[in-house]
Structure formats: C-alpha cells, structure tokens
C-alpha cells in the first residue's frame, strides 16, 4: 500500500523530480535513451519503444510530494491493432501507449514504489538507477525485437503486470511478421476463451464484495448489502466480443 503524505510539505516538487530525472537520464543516455519532458524513451528494432516515465502524484489525491517511475514497451501493431501500422512514427511515445507495462518496485518483485520527496534526492536517484540497472535494462535488452518478445516475454511477468490480452498481442505480432496462419490460430484461441468467460458470467455470475449499506447497480440488478459479504452479479457485457468480431474482419482473419 502507498503511504500517503498526511501533512503538506514545503517543497518544490517539480524541481526535485527534475533533478532526480536528470541524474537517471545521465546514467542511461549512453544506452540510446532520449529525454522528452518526463519521459525517457528509445527506439529498438526501428519502431519498438522502450519507455521510463516519471509520474508526479496529484495533491488532490493526497499524493502530493510523491512520485513513481512507470515502465513500458510499445509494439506498434499491438497498440494500433493493425498488422502493418503506418511507417511514420512520432519522436517518442508515452508509457500509457505501451502494451507491456509495470512500475519500479513491482519489477523487482516488491510493491510498486512511490518515492517520498521529503527524503534525500541523491538517495532516491541512486535507488532508481540501481533498480533500472538490475531489472529494467537487462529485460529491455532481451525484449528488443518482435521475435525476442514472442520467445521471452513470459520470462518477465513483473515487467508485464498490466497486460490482459497477451494472446491477442502475440497474434498481432505474428500477423506483422506475415505468419497469418499462426496469427489466426492465436486469435481464435483468444476469442474462444473470451466467449467461454462471457458464458460463464451469464450463467454463474461473478462475486463482488460489498460492505453493509453499499449499493451496486449492474445490468437490471440493484443490490444494497444488508451485511458485509459477497453478492452475486448475473449477466455480462458482450461489447468485447463484438469488438473482436469486427477486428477479425478488419485484419482479414475471417
């Protein structure tokens, strides 16, 4: 869990993060990274992005004086859902545009880290550089081509904590590599798994924990918990399956 700051701190958050980011950038610049605001970015295999991004906490969310470091890898066809994206590319891409995503802390097997700017910035910078050196750069070096991502992605689950559609993304990569047979096979396997999950939710529902007095509205159900515990919500949204049907046609898989 994140330890929120309980008191306002008289610190210049922007300047302090600037200083820390500059130290990190100086360390990884020789590896081909370029600085774009809060994003440190490099291209590998011409169009695959590898991203290290500094995110400052919002005071309105009680996160003032804190920041975290996001990590990402963007494969164009996975993000754009076309086998052959336009060759024109931007100078850099944001972490939220990536498909393989994580944060410092998580990538080393701990909880995600929110750095407290009341502590010494040199120690924070050293901690970030150490974790990037030990866990991030080695993974980035391996996952630097489509073929390597297909072969080794599953070896780095801590760098891939936010992905829900690995099979679909592998389908996109195989399609980009002109292996349409493999792409179609993976797509249909993923599609069937989504249909089975949808049917299970329709038939058996899904559990959601509510505290006494909490209310949830789902489909045609309106439930207010009489006591703490789980309630069963029946029904499911068919929207994702509809999207996959259209995607299969646009990709030429059906």
CA dihedral sign, ordered 243, 154, 172, 93 = positive
pLDDT at 8: 45
Closest CA to 39 of 49, 29, 52: 52
pLDDT at 3: 45
> Is residue 83 classed exposed, middle or buried when 0-12, 13-18 and 19+ CB atoms within 10 A define those classes?
buried
Judged by average pLDDT, the poorest of 45-49, 59-63, 224-228 is 59-63
Average pLDDT over residues 12-19: 92
pLDDT at 161: 85
- Tell me: pLDDT of 26 over 60: yes
pLDDT at 92: 96
pLDDT at 195: 96
Share of the chain above pLDDT 90, in %: 78
Average pLDDT over residues 246-254: 96
pLDDT at 220: 82
189-224 in b/e form (b: 16+ CB < 10 A) is ebbeebeeebeeeeeebeeeebeeeeeeebeeeeee
CA distance 181 to 183: 5
Share of the chain above pLDDT 70, in %: 95
Average pLDDT over residues 11-28: 93
pLDDT at 64: 79
Closest CA to 250 of 81, 137, 124: 81
Average pLDDT over residues 65-74: 96
Q: How confident is the model at residue 11 (pLDDT cuts 50, 70, 90)?
A: low
- Tell me: pLDDT of 9 over 60: no
In angstroms, what CA-CA distances link 240 with 66, 90, 246?
Answer: 36, 29, 10
- Tell me: pLDDT of 68 over 60: yes
pLDDT at 145: 98
């Amino acid at each position: 869990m994140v330890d929120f700051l309980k008191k306002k701190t008289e610190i210049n958050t922007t300047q302090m993060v600037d200083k820390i980011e500059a130290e990190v950038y100086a360390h990884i610049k020789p590896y081909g990274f370029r600085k774009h605001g809060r994003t440190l970015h490099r291209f590998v295999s011409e169009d695959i992005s590898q991203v290290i991004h500094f995110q400052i906490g919002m005071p309105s969310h009680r996160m003032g004086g804190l920041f975290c470091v996001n990590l990402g890898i963007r494969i164009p066809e996975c993000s754009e859902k076309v086998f052959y994206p336009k060759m024109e590319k931007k100078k850099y891409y944001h972490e939220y545009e990536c498909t393989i995503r994580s944060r410092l802390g998580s990538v080393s097997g701990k909880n995600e880290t929110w750095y407290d700017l009341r502590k010494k910035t040199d120690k924070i910078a050293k901690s970030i550089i150490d974790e990037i050196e030990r866990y991030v750069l080695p993974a980035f070096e391996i996952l630097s081509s489509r073929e390597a991502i297909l072969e080794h992605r599953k070896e780095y689950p801590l760098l891939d904590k936010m992905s829900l559609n690995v099979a679909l993304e592998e389908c996109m990569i195989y399609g980009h590599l002109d292996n349409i047979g493999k792409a179609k096979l993976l797509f249909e396997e993923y599609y069937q798994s989504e249909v089975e999950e949808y049917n299970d939710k329709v038939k058996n529902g899904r559990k959601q924990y509510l505290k006494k007095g909490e209310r949830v509205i789902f489909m045609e159900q309106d439930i207010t918990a009489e006591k703490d515990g789980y309630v069963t919500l029946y029904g499911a949204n068919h929207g994702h399956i509809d999207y996959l049907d259209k995607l299969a046609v646009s990709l030429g898989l059906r």
